[in-house]
Amino acid sequence: MTPEIPGTSYPVERTTLDNGLRVVFAPERSAPVVSVSVLYDVGIRSEPPGRSGFAHLFEHLMFQGSANLEKLAHFRYVQGSGGTFNGSTHLDYTDYYETLPAGGLERALFLESDRMRGPTLTEANLRNQVDVVKEEIRVNVLNRPYGGFPFLTLPPVIFDTFPNAHDGYGSFGDLEAATVADAAEFFETYYAAGNAVLTLAGDFDPDHAIRLVEQHFGDVPARPAPARPSFAEPDLAAEARAEYEDRLAPLPAVAAAWRVPDPLRDFAGYLPYVVLAEVLTDGDASRLVSRLVLRDRSVTSIGGYIGFLGEPFGVRDPTVLLLRAHLPPGGSVDPVLATIDEELQRLATDGITEAELRRVQARMATHLLRDADGVLGRGLSMAVLELQRGDPAMINDLPRLLGAVTPDQVVAAAATLRPERRASQSVLPGAAQSSPDAIAAAAGAA
């Protein structure tokens, strides 16, 4: 009998303050380190038309001073305590976090509560951060080979609605049109205590931590969470394909995506697709790596994951199983897609052995356990699970739940990934980049 993949047993406590703020406590006192994170239930999909990139822009504004702190004070207080900090914008939430020596817990709570009361929204701060975000777009998208591929470029191929299809980094026109009044409205709407989760993970006494949380967050004004709009849209009725030329790309590439079940409302139906993505692309023994990279040599690399940002347990519906491949000089996209279809059909017809599935599940469980081992990763994972599922303790069950997926479930999932449900996008190398000299230079750099 194959042994069951075990779960973990991290302690989890929860409470909700009178102002609606949900709080998760995850004490673990083996090392004198603590992580504090605040997640707001607003992400790229919440941006209205004409405000593309605003969720990310607002994340920047949250670091520009707050009710009692001048600009850059947040940086100084965390780093002066020996800590680190950051924030990030996702499709369905925005997070802010600090990791400090355990003695810095109250400092982190003060910093986060102060900007939850209100960031410093001024014309100077807004214009400065618009320029910063525009420079990020230049560096990460416009002036980088394969910039934005496929997380920005494939969504409008598979989706039609603005929330799901628009450019979450933002257009320069939308960013430049943003006003301080827009920022204030965004804060009032989405950065409410009732729309947030505060998570503490690491070395602290729970009773003392609860008192500190009440002290610093208890008087944050109560505002309810806004109504969340529906992001639903129908699945593709026919194959969708697109291509574009990237003047900086030295070689062709292709990405393909299929819709998968609702991660929240149909978790049992969703999990086999999470496993399937790894069966197809995780390691040299995986189906597509062994066929496309090692045998056919029709691609130089291929990867697969769930969601455009690769976070299977941090995304709402609709989302996708995505494959991304880079091709060698002279490579052709059509044979690659045909081989992917062939391998999916073979998996759906011939099945998967218990040994192959167990190997993949063991690797996946290892990654989950490693990511949750540090207080920051554990705290952020619990915060997302609380925000989207109301169940932060689910972090303990995820390895076991992945290990419980059966061969028949993976086979059934593979059978749904048909060409008529697929969206694909090809990247064509720019003429200057596809010359023999450019290809040789790219190979040498790699």
What would the two tokens of residue 130 be?
């618009």
| Stretch(es) of the chain classified as CATH 3.30.830.10 | 13-217, 240-445
Task: Tell me: pLDDT of 434 over 60.
Answer: no
Residue 81, classed as helix, strand or coil, is coil
Residue 34 and residue 200 in contact, taking contact as beta carbons nearer than 8 Å: yes
- C-alpha–C-alpha distance, residues 367 and 377, integer Å: 12
- C-alpha–C-alpha distance, residues 446 and 444, integer Å: 5
Residue 255 and residue 322 in contact, taking contact as beta carbons nearer than 8 Å: yes
Q: What pLDDT, in 10s, does the model give residues 146-162?
A: 999 999 999 999 999 99
The predicted pLDDT at position 441 comes to 41
The predicted pLDDT at position 438 comes to 44
Percent residues over pLDDT 70 in the chain: 96
- C-alpha–C-alpha distance, residues 154 and 150, integer Å: 5
Q: What pLDDT, in 10s, does the model give residues 59-114?
A: 999 999 998 999 999 999 999 999 999 999 999 999 999 999 999 999 999 999 99
User: In whole angstroms, how far apart are CA 209 and each of 24, 106, 146, 154?
Assistant: 11, 8, 45, 44
For the full predicted model, state whether its pTM sits above 0.85: yes
- In what side-by-side order are the strands of the sheet with 84-89? 13-16, 22-27, 196-202, 33-40, 94-101, 84-89
What is the band of 445 on the pLDDT scale with cuts at 50, 70, 90? very low
* CATH fold for domain 240-445: Cytochrome Bc1 Complex; Chain A, domain 1 (3.30.830)
CA atoms within 13 A on the CB side of 242: 14
Domain 13-217 belongs to what architecture? Answer: 2-Layer Sandwich (3.30)
- C-alpha–C-alpha distance, residues 265 and 92, integer Å: 16
Residue 63 and residue 87 in contact, taking contact as beta carbons nearer than 8 Å: yes
Cα dihedral angle (256, 261, 264, 270), rounded to 10 degrees? -90
- Average of per-residue pLDDT across 422-446: 63
Q: What pLDDT, in 10s, does the model give residues 18-60?
A: 999 999 999 999 999 999 999 999 999 999 999 999 999 999 9
The predicted pLDDT at position 442 comes to 40
Q: What pLDDT, in 10s, does the model give residues 268-319?
A: 999 999 999 999 999 999 999 999 999 999 999 999 999 999 999 999 999 9
- C-alpha–C-alpha distance, residues 352 and 280, integer Å: 11
Neighbours of 28 (CB within 10 A): 17
Task: Please name which of 153, 167, 154 lies closest in space to residue 423, comparing C-alpha atoms.
Answer: 154
Is residue 87 packed enough to be buried (19+ CB in 10 Å), middle (13-18) or exposed (0-12)? Answer: middle
Q: What pLDDT, in 10s, does the model give residues 386-400?
A: 999 999 999 999 999
